[in-house]
A and B are shown apart, each in its own frame.
Chain A
Amino acid sequence: MTIREKGYHHWDGQLKDTGIDWLPIFFNGIKTVFKKKYAKVLFGLTVSPFLVFLVGIYVSTKPELKMLTKLVRLLNTDAEFFNVFFTNNFLTFMLVILGLFFGSGLISGDIKFNAFPLYFSRPMNRKDYIFGKLSVIMFYFLLFTLVPGILLYIFKFIFTGKISIDPQVLLGLIFLPLLVTLFLASVILMISSLSGNAKYAQIITFLLYIFSNSIALILVKIFKSDYFYLISIENIIKQMGSFMFNVRAAFYYPPWLSVVTVIVFISCAFLVLYYRIGKAEAQIETGN
């Protein structure tokens, strides 16, 4: 007998209470992104810096490859090596492209298709919703920053055959990718929450990335002050790397200022997100 013929019947299971109500958003988001067209191509491109640096580590540990030493001079210290790995422009660019690819539509899609009543009639508040969406971007960003960083660290031990842990490098290795990904993810999500059109969100994010760099460069040239690099996404990440790994500063302003500025940007992005999602929750249409 079919269910319809025998009428409605109750579900005899029990609802879970994991305390992490946003977890289904995270798992669903990861699955959805992975199924997207061109995802594998983009992932392949994003992982390429890791492969290059892996070869670099190998070369630096083999005396017989001395002719390549010049190429890997930057690998003299672990701090410099990881600083360059995390702050190279190509990796930052690919993270932004990845963010455009799967992050820009995360909230704008929900706005466009009015999905909020479906989310907020569940045991979920706006913090859960934001964490859920953020976790999807963070997962992929960390997959191409923190994970390769840790792998490079391990491979270095394997190639050199000796284990030496520098606490400064270890802390930088963990906290720099966390801060960079949180910064980029919060900005991308904030822009996504401003429009119901994912294309607009993508364009705005890309323009912000491009213009933040070029406007900073113009202002630095005009006013002869490196402080203007604080508004450049690429350059603020470079200066944060200098601070985290305690290496020579990339620009002439205190490196700690870049960290403070990024934290301010992240806080502002979350405030906007919290306000936008709260507004959407209160405006859910229920009857007339």
Chain B
Amino acid sequence: MGTYLNKIRIYYLMEKIIQLQNINFSYGENKTIDNVSLDIGKGVYGLLGPNGAGKTTLMKLLLGFLIPSSGSGRVLDFDIATGRKEVRKRIGYMPENDCLMPGMDGVTLTAYLGELSGMPRQEAMKRAHEVLYYVGLEESRYRKVETYSSGMKQRLKLAQALVHDPALLFLDEPSSGMDPKGRREMLELIKDIAGKESMNIIISTHLLPDVEYTCRQVIILNNGQVAAERDVSSVSTDRFNRFNIKIQGETERFLNKLQSLNCTISENDRGLYSILLPKEQSPRNLFKIALESHVQIRHFQQSQTTLEDTFVSAVGVSNDH
């Protein structure tokens, strides 16, 4: 119990779990991380970004698989370049892709990975039973892992990431390959884990609803840079107002004028335009521009901004996530 309290004391008092300063990384000529500076505090963070945004590379840097070409970073107060073993001792990582060790049953694999993290053998085995029970694999824990379904493999990956009770958990597409019921359960588990004071989580995912459901903060990456960093709960009252409008007339002129006001516009298949209007702009401007452009507004409705809107406005694309 004392150790657990120590753990809470150390990481709960820590304001910043991850600190990155001017991190750069290139694969040859291709700069994948471009001068990223980030402070990640306690709680659950979502990492979003379109393909090639640099999420993969950033995760690799945080996990210590890659060394930055310049800049510095600390994870749980350990240097990401020189303290890789110390970082890995304190993190849990749930990879996206299938990964297992054939010939082992679920409980042996989980206990083995606990031992590799530094747990004493007997405690690793005891804890493996506990976490497998927790993730819902109690019935299948003695089955060979290669016979698991993809949903069970996801649960197993979560169990092995939790077995040594890390202070920081990296979850990579945690609900991928799961049926709706399994996905809901996985998100519930994440939410439950996130409720623990000394557990911090970073979720990299393509599924915005997953982030909205589980995360407190979201970091959006684009072209190797941090495009946005938001509090998920404040997204709806954030920098934009969202309006759905239907128009008739000189559409192109109207839309061009809106773009000059830094609006993000997308059109759905029913001819309805979704417009993200910056907060500093009054909705009256829409009507003013419509009048100037000889456009009739046939439908006008304000709707709530979502995380997707934030993503779209930060990344500047609507369908690449």
Contacts and interface: CB of A to CB of B under 8 A. Distances in A.
Given A11-B165, A121-B93, A116 B120 contact: no
Given A8-B196, A113-B100, A286-B95, A118 B113 contact: yes
A15 B119 contact: yes
B103 interface: yes
Contacts of B100: 113-115, 118
Interface in B215-235: none
Q: What 3 A-B pairs have minimum CB-CB distances, sorted nearest first?
A: A15-B118, A121-B93, A11-B165
A122 B113 contact: yes
B37 interface: no
A121 B63 contact: yes
Nearest to B135: A4
A254 to B, nearest CB: 44
Interface string A122-152: 1111000000000000000000000000000
A93 interface: no
Contacts of B173: 287-288
Interface in B78-106: 84-86, 88-89, 91-93, 95-103
Given A110-B101, A286-B63, A288-B55, A24 B120 contact: no
Interface stretch (B16-24, B126-134, B250-258, B266-274): B126-134
A26 to B, nearest CB: 11
B98 A114 contact: yes
Interface of A: 2-4, 7-18, 21, 24-25, 28, 32, 109-110, 112-125, 281-282, 284-288
A124 B173 CA distance: 24
B164 interface: yes
Interface stretch (B1-9, B69-77, B236-244, B303-311): B1-9
Nearest to B88: A123
B198 A287 contact: no
Nearest to A12: B4
B293 interface: no
Given A8-B199, A114-B99, A121-B170, 6 more contacts: A3-B130, A10-B198, A113-B100, A121-B93, A123-B116, A287-B56
Interface string B37-69: 000000000010001000110011001011000
A285 B59 CA distance: 10
B1 A12 contact: yes
Contacts of B292: none
A282 B199 CA distance: 27
Contacts of A285: 56, 95-97
B127 A11 contact: yes
B96 A113 contact: no
B195 A282 contact: no
23 contacts: A8-B192, A8-B199, A9-B130, A10-B198, A11-B165, A13-B3, A13-B120, A13-B127, A16-B118, A16-B119, A21-B118, A25-B116, A113-B100, A114-B98, A117-B93, A117-B99, A118-B101, A121-B161, A284-B65, A286-B63, A286-B65, A287-B55, A288-B173
A223 B256 CA distance: 84
A284 to B, nearest CB: 6
Given A15-B118, A282-B65, A286-B56, A123 B196 contact: no
A118 B99 CA distance: 7
Most buried by B among A10, A24, A286: A286
Given A16-B118, A286-B95, A8 B7 contact: no
B192 to A, nearest CB: 5
Contacts of B97: 114, 117, 285
A117 B95 contact: yes
Contacts of B189: 8
Nearest to A288: B51
B241 to A, nearest CB: 31
A9 B7 CA distance: 13
B136 interface: yes
A68 to B, nearest CB: 47
B160 interface: yes
B134 A4 contact: yes
Contacts of B134: 3-4, 8
B154 interface: no
Contacts of B116: 21, 24-25, 119, 122-124
A52 to B, nearest CB: 34
Contact of B195 (A7, A25, A123): A7
Contact of B60 (A25, A114, A286): A286
Contacts of A8: 134, 162, 189, 192-193, 195-196, 199
Given A16-B120, A122-B116, A124-B88, A286 B172 contact: yes
A105 to B, nearest CB: 9
Contact of A15 (B59, B89, B96, B133): B89
Contacts of B196: 8, 10
Most chain B CB inside 10 Å of its own CB: which residue of A24, A120, A285, A287: A287
B133 A3 contact: yes
A287 B99 contact: no
Contacts of A110: 101
A8 B206 CA distance: 26
A282 B51 CA distance: 19
Interface in B142-183: 146, 160-162, 164-165, 170, 172-173
B200 interface: no
B236 to A, nearest CB: 27
